[in-house]
Amino acid sequence: MLKFSDQLGSPTASFESVLSLLSSFFVPESDDALMHWVSRTMADKSLRADMKTWREQWRGFDSGTKATILL
């Protein structure tokens, strides 16, 4: 994933391009497998806290303020 950090953190990266790049890493075997993974992931309180921080950083980045993204 680090080899794509330049593309993911680029000021010209659109939401769609980032989503497309990230979605190429995870192809679920079935809808049930995907929902099981989402359920387990969302139950992880530490990850949810990280996601909140990332969301705030993205908002800062998107609004033009300097933010540290994808460290």
In the chain, domain spans: 2-45
Query: What is the residue-averaged pLDDT of the chain?
Result: 76
According to the model, what pLDDT value does residue 48 have? Answer: 86
| Per-residue b or e along 23-39, where b marks 16 or more CB atoms closer than 10 Å to that residue's CB | eeeeeeeeeeeeeeeee
* 30-43 pLDDT per residue, tens: 889 888 888 988 89
Greatest Cα-to-Cα distance within the chain, rounded to the nearest angstrom: 40
- What pTM, to 2 d.p., does this model score? 0.41
The CA distance from 32 to 58, in Å, is: 30
According to the model, what pLDDT value does residue 64 have? Answer: 60
Residue 9: both structure tokens together: 């953190």
